[in-house]
């Protein structure tokens, strides 16, 4: 079986991304040609990357390529194992869809913005992600990681003339550096123990880690990867940075770049640090629950379509972490079967979230492209001018809400099953935490559904609320192709879950030593089973068929009724106030009012109404209404932190004299003292 050309396909995809990057820069003066090259080479790279990933997964056995660099501790080593293949597949699916979409999306940049520079950063991002997902050397990984952060920064600040964009970019780059610093320290600790920067050596050295070293390394990696993944409380950069980027990039940032954090956690926690103690797994689980619930609660209050999606990314990262944390707890408790279930749930949700979040961001991008606004309160009625976009967005919304029979349902169902099984399989505090996490996950799912009812209904239904949405038009064909491809993937992964899940066999065998993916398929081949005692069984295909069957009588009733009673058209019921306009429509704020009241402890909502009147308050001239919720984490955690830092910096300014001689003197005195200190007898 080792004849599959994984290596050549992988090398070709790296080559396609690199040439794409350079070619885009080289021909930036010809925007039209540049657009073709940019999207074409990205598509080629994605196809080769996807081919390599599929072949790698079929092959099963891990592959390794290594080129020595001549520099100590550094080598160009790549590991193409099941985990790398899985994340590369995710990347390839998204990169392919985004490059087709970009073909239409970038057209409006022509003559206005530098497509060459955009293409360069875009390819650099894809290239660095591929390297991050395959690197087997700590330094190569870190280089990929930093290039990824810088390319993402360049893309986030692409509309740099906007002040909000620049602020978001600054916040992003600061957080990215804190996270890279944590990773550097973590890897330094591992390198000190193993004496090498190779990932394989970390695996063997994991046994020599003392428990305190393991704990420190775990915390460093968790913070480092957690910032990149946007878990609460390190999430503040995410809702700022993702919405301001061009929409095709937002979709990649939310779809894949966040997943780099998940990849890192999976790689290090399950593969590099030995068996982590159970508190580590519980910490991941609790952080996951907090991110899921708070993420969706903040999303509910958001009226900016793209920010809403960004908050949903926090929620879904939380769901993934719940699965990952459960897998860590089960592994140390000696339940590899359950650990496999939880891990598959987490990784399957990673893939699913990547696909539907990318789809939703692309949909939001089409809306923005067509109407020029991200504010939902100004949109409305877009289903008529943009039917395909609306349908694709609806598919994404159903999938992200975890409704059967789409893919989001399958992975959330698997997560539930692992949490419920955890109640029987563990003891003590853990035993209580699992069902609690399960109920929180249920709450999250319900709130997410409510949030997407709001997002879809306010954006696409009813009457248009401003001129932009009245004159909306359908997106160009290439953008629709990009979106439909992802929508089809959502449906396929949902209905064909039983066919897809055995592909995780190699992955669980590599990380947990058991082939578990196939166990989740019951003997009929169409039914998913949790494979646990008292575990549930479900079949998405049967649900889909049942839904279709239910549709038939409904359609029958409607058609018979329509024949029996001749249809009449009349004005909508207007409560006796004739002349309803779009101003009378239900708004997003109104829709989320009930939840704002229920969760007012968390939101701390503030409302201000000012009435301007001449003579009597009964005859107001104008009413000003303001409503906002408190950004708790920014206000309670980050602002005090920032103040502390600034105070410290002001103190430190005393030695910052601005004189070269003073600086030289500092260095000189330190040097002489250190020299004398070093040779003291």
By beta-carbon proximity to other proteins, the closer residue of 624 and 661 is 661
- Per CB under 8 A, 660 contacts other proteins: yes
- Per CB under 8 A, 657 contacts other proteins: yes
Of residues 556, 560, 649, 664, which one binds other proteins by CB under 8 A?
664
- Per CB under 8 A, 668 contacts other proteins: yes
d(CA 504, CA 57): 9
What distances in angstroms separate CA 296 from CA 293, 443, 450, one per listed residue?
6, 10, 10
- Per CB under 8 A, 625 contacts other proteins: no
**Numbers of helices and strands, H then E, in the chain:** 28, 6
Interface size with other proteins, residues (CB under 8 A): 16
- Per CB under 8 A, 678 contacts other proteins: yes
- Per CB under 8 A, 652 contacts other proteins: no
Q: Determine contact, residues 543/348, Cβ cutoff 8 Å.
A: no
Interface region with other proteins, contact rule CB under 8 A, candidates 159-167, 467-475, 613-621, 652-660: 652-660
What distances in angstroms separate CA 616 from CA 74, 622, 624, 628, one per listed residue?
78, 13, 17, 29
- Per CB under 8 A, 661 contacts other proteins: yes
Of residues 562, 593, 665, 670, which one binds other proteins by CB under 8 A?
665
Contacts of 180 (CB under 8 A, 6+ apart): 142, 145, 146, 149, 224
By beta-carbon proximity to other proteins, the closer residue of 613 and 668 is 668
Binding mask 65-104 for other proteins (x = CB under 8 A): ----------------------------------------
- Per CB under 8 A, 651 contacts other proteins: no
- Per CB under 8 A, 654 contacts other proteins: no
- Per CB under 8 A, 659 contacts other proteins: yes
Report in angstroms how near the CB of residue 76 gets to other proteins at its nearest: 18
Assigned token pair, 336: 């590899």
**DSSP secondary structure string, 172-220?**
HHHHHHHHHHHHHHHHHHHHHHHSS-BHHHHHHHGGG--HHHHHHHHHH
- Per CB under 8 A, 58 contacts other proteins: no
Nearest residue to 221 via CA among 185, 247, 257, 169: 185
**Alpha helices by DSSP H, 496-524:** 497-500, 505-512
d(CA 261, CA 269): 12
By beta-carbon proximity to other proteins, the closer residue of 188 and 662 is 662
> 625 has which bridge partners?
609
- Per CB under 8 A, 672 contacts other proteins: yes
Interface region with other proteins, contact rule CB under 8 A, candidates 326-334, 557-565, 615-623, 657-665: 657-665
**Alpha helices by DSSP H, 565-638:** 588-591, 593-598, 600-603, 632-633
Interface region with other proteins, contact rule CB under 8 A, candidates 57-65, 523-531, 538-546, 659-667: 659-667
Report in angstroms how near the CB of residue 654 gets to other proteins at its nearest: 12
Please tell me what DSSP assigns to residue 78: E
- Per CB under 8 A, 675 contacts other proteins: yes
Interface region with other proteins, contact rule CB under 8 A, candidates 262-270, 349-357, 579-587, 660-668: 660-668
Report in angstroms how near the CB of residue 646 gets to other proteins at its nearest: 18
Nearest residue to 47 via CA among 113, 92, 108, 104: 92
- Applying CB under 8 A, which residues contact other proteins? 657-661, 664-665, 667-668, 671-672, 675-676, 678-679, 681
């Amino acid at each position: 079986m080792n004849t599959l050309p994984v290596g050549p396909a992988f090398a070709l995809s790296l080559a396609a991304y690199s040439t794409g990057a350079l070619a885009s820069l080289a021909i930036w003066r010809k925007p039209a040609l540049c657009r073709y090259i940019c999207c074409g080479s990205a598509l080629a790279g994605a196809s080769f990357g996807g081919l390599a990933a599929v072949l790698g997964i079929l092959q099963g056995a891990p592959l390794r390529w290594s080129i020595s660099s001549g520099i100590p501790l550094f080598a160009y080593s790549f590991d193409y194992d099941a985990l790398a293949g899985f994340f590369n597949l995710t990347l390839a699916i998204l990169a392919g869809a985004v490059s087709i979409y970009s073909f239409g999306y970038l057209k409006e940049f022509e003559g206005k913005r530098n497509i060459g520079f955009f293409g360069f950063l875009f390819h650099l991002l894809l290239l660095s992600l591929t390297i991050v997902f395959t690197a087997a050397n700590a330094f190569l990984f870190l280089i990929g990681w930093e290039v990824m952060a810088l390319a993402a920064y360049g893309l986030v600040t692409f509309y740099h003339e906007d002040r909000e964009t620049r602020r978001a970019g600054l916040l992003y780059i600061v957080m990215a550096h804190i996270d890279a610093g944590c990773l550097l320290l973590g890897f330094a600790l591992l390198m000190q123990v193993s004496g090498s920067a190779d990932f394989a050596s970390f695996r063997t050295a994991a046994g020599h880690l003392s428990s305190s070293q393991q704990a420190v390394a775990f915390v460093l990696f968790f913070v480092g990867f957690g910032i990149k993944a946007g878990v609460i409380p390190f999430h503040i950069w995410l809702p700022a940075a993702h919405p301001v980027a061009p929409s095709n990039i937002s979709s990649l940032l939310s779809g894949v770049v966040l997943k780099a954090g998940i990849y890192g956690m999976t790689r290090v926690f399950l593969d590099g640090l030995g068996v982590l103690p159970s508190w580590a797994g519980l910490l991941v689980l609790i952080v996951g629950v907090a991110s899921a619930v708070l993420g969706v609660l903040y999303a509910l209050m958001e009226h900016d379509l793209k920010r809403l999606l960004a908050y949903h990314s926090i929620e879904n990262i939380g769901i993934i972490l719940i699965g990952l944390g459960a897998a860590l707890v089960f592994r140390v408790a000696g339940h590899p079967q359950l650990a496999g279930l939880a891990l598959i749930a987490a990784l399957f949700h990673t893939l699913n979230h990547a696909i539907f979040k990318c789809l939703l961001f692309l949909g939001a991008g089409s809306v923005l492209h067509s109407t020029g606004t991200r504010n939902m309160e100004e949109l409305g009625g877009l289903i008529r001018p943009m039917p395909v976009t609306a349908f694709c967005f609806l598919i994404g919304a159903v999938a992200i809400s975890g409704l059967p029979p789409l893919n989001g349902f399958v992975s959330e169902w698997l997560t539930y099953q692992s949490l419920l099984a955890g109640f029987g399989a563990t003891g003590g505090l853990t035993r209580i935490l699992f069902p609690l996490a399960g109920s929180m996950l249920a709450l999250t799912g319900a709130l997410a559904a409510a949030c997407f009812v709001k997002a879809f209904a306010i954006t696409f239904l009813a009457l248009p609320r401003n001129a932009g949405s009245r004159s909306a038009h359908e997106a160009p064909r290439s953008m629709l192709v990009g979106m439909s491809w992802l929508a089809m993937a959502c449906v396929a992964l949902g209905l064909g879950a039983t066919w897809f899940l055995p592909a995780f066999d190699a992955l669980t065998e590599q990380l947990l030593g058991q082939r578990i993916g196939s166990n989740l398929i019951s003997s009929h081949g169409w039914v998913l089973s949790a494979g646990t005692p008292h575990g549930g069984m479900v079949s998405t295909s049967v649900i889909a068929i049942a839904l279709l069957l239910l549709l038939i009588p409904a359609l029958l009733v409607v058609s018979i009724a329509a024949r029996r009673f001749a249809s009449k058209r009349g004005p909508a019921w207007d409560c006796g106030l004739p002349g309803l306009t779009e101003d009378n429509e239900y708004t997003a704020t109104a829709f989320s009012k009930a939840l704002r009241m229920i969760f007012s402890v968390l939101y701390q909502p503030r409302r201000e109404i000012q009435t301007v009147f001449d003579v009597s308050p009964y005859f107001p001239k104008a009413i000003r209404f303001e409503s906002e919720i408190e950004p708790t984490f920014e206000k309670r955690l980050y602002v005090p932190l920032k103040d502390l830092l600034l105070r410290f910096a002001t103190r430190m300014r005393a030695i910052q004299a601005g004189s070269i001689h003073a600086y030289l003197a500092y260095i000189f005195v330190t040097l002489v003292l250190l020299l004398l200190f070093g040779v003291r007898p």
